[in-house]
Amino acid sequence: MEKLLPRFLEYVQIDTQSDPKSKTTPSTKKQWDLAKKLVHELHKIGMQDVAIDEHAYIMATLPSNLEKRVPTIGFIAHFDTTPDFTAVGVRPKRIENYDGGDIVLNTAKNIVLSPSYFEELLQYKGQTLITTDGTTLLGADDKAGIAEIITAMEYLIDHPEIPHGKIRIAFTPDEEIGRGAHKFDVDKFGAEWAYTMDGSQIGELEYENFNAADAKIKFQGKSVHPGYAKNKMVNAIGLANEFLSLLPKHEKPESTEDREGFFHVYAIEGEIEHAKVELIIRDHDAEHFEARKALINAIVEKLNTQYPDAVSCEIKDQYKNMESQIALNFHIVEIAEEAMQQLGIEPIIKPIRGGTDGSQLSFMGLPCPNIFAGGHNFHGKYEYVPLESMEKAVQTIVKICELTGEKF
């Protein structure tokens, strides 16, 4: 475990931000910086079949140490960070023996991580927290997962007395922009099932996620001198505002929780003649998800009756709820749950309010529930991860490998 923290701290200081506007894979060249380092490290600890392809997908093998055949299982994490918040110049801070009070991340900018706002901090009193310095995200999503997987593999290599079958690991680019599984070669990976180490707080075990779609609404206006605009001007910005007013007011991320779906407007741009609104649609329930898409189309149709051909809409599905695929292979969830229980971790089984590579991979033939990596407040300056949670994640990986070897 003494290698876990230095490993993680080194990873987060390498900028791997992805870019949704890029057409390449990986979407940014800087993701190669960490990818190449990971390949070197996997060779160094003694992993076999270490390979990286032209798109920076990394795979490696820990061979079985059992005479009997057991299922090949896998562990997966992504090395990119979100494009929504800066990852340039990450300077992680280490808070030893957290006392339960406010943590001043940045004195000059008066940025404070406080349990009065983030109540879950109090769960980690007495533990070691790794935080940001208040100017960047941390990158525990998902460099914590990578550090945990590599540390677990090194531990198994150094402790051959622990029985396990063949284990495959993979690290992927571009998960944060929804492309992490797009070029993942499931056949080459060769596992019967896998786990993404990409969840949040200790104990999380997730096999349900949102159904997801992206919508782009374009508005066509007519520009006329404002002094002579009556019954002539069509203001595209006004059309965009009218569209937004017709969305359900309380069905947005900041007003929903648990299994409640939402519409999330994440970009607006416009002028008199042209405007565009971009939003994402999310719901765990498939019927509700389809109803949300239908509502968007109905609003567009309504506006077009008032302003003929002024509004166009493009909706693209992004991923589906993996529950239907995991249900066919539920023993893989039960193994992870038992592993946590044996380690004294209370499993927190709940739906993911987001997506994961595991969702797409499950529909590609690789059932892949999600396990905690330990972090909190991803994608922003208040991100942190307790070191003890990361250590428990390493132990969970090792225990899953051991239990799989015992049960088959």
pLDDT of residue 178: 86
Torsion angle (degrees, nearest 10) of CA 376, 378, 382, 386: 30
- The answer, yes or no, to whether residue 1 has pLDDT greater than 90, is no
Q: What is the pLDDT of residues 17-73, one digit of tens each?
A: 999 999 999 999 999 999 999 999 999 999 999 999 999 999 999 999 999 999 999
What is the fold of 211-319? Alpha-Beta Plaits (3.30.70)
Q: How would residue 350 be classed by pLDDT, with cut points 50, 70 and 90?
A: confident
Whole-angstrom CA distances from 247 to 34, 236, 288, 395 are 41, 17, 15, 45
Give the pLDDT band (50/70/90) at residue 355. confident
Question: What average pLDDT score do residues 360-377 get?
Answer: 95
Give catalytic residues, as residue numbers: 80, 175
Confidence grade of residue 352 (pLDDT, cut at 50, 70, 90): confident
Q: How far apart are the first and last CA of the chain?
A: 29
Q: What is the pLDDT of residues 106-131, one digit of tens each?
A: 999 999 999 999 999 999 999 999 99
pLDDT (0 to 100) of residue 19: 96
- Beta strands (DSSP E) in 355-401 are 370-372, 384-386
* Phi, psi of 108, rounded to the nearest 5 degrees: -60, -35
Domain ranges of the chain: 4-208+321-407, 211-319
User: What letter does residue 101 receive in the DSSP assignment?
Assistant: S
Quickly state the pLDDT bin for 356 (edges 50, 70, 90).
Answer: confident
Edge-to-edge strand ranges of the sheet holding 384-386: 93-95, 129-131, 384-386
Instruction: Look up residue 247 and give its two tokens.
Output: 């969305």
Closest CA to 125 of 95, 93, 96, 99: 99
Query: What's the pLDDT tens digit per position in 240-251?
Result: 999 999 999 999
* Structure confidence at residue 322 as a pLDDT band (50, 70, 90): very high
Rg of the Cα atoms in the chain: 23
pLDDT single digits (tens) 65-108: 999 999 999 999 999 999 999 999 999 999 999 999 999 999 99
Q: What is the pLDDT of residue 354?
A: 80
- Band the pLDDT of 136: cuts 50, 70, 90: very high
Q: Give the homologous superfamily in CATH for domain 4-208+321-407.
A: Zn peptidases (3.40.630.10)
Residue with tokens 């270490």: 50
Q: Is the pLDDT of residue 364 over 80?
A: yes
H or E element that contains 299? helix 286-306
Supply φ then ψ for residue 243, to 5 degrees. -60, -50
What would the 3-class secondary structure string for 172-196 be? ECCHHHCCCCCCCCHHHHCCCEEEE
Chain-wide mean pLDDT for the chain?
96
Residue 164 has pLDDT above 80, yes or no: yes
| pLDDT at 208 > cutoff 90 | yes
pLDDT tens-place string over residues 275-290? 999 999 999 999 999 9
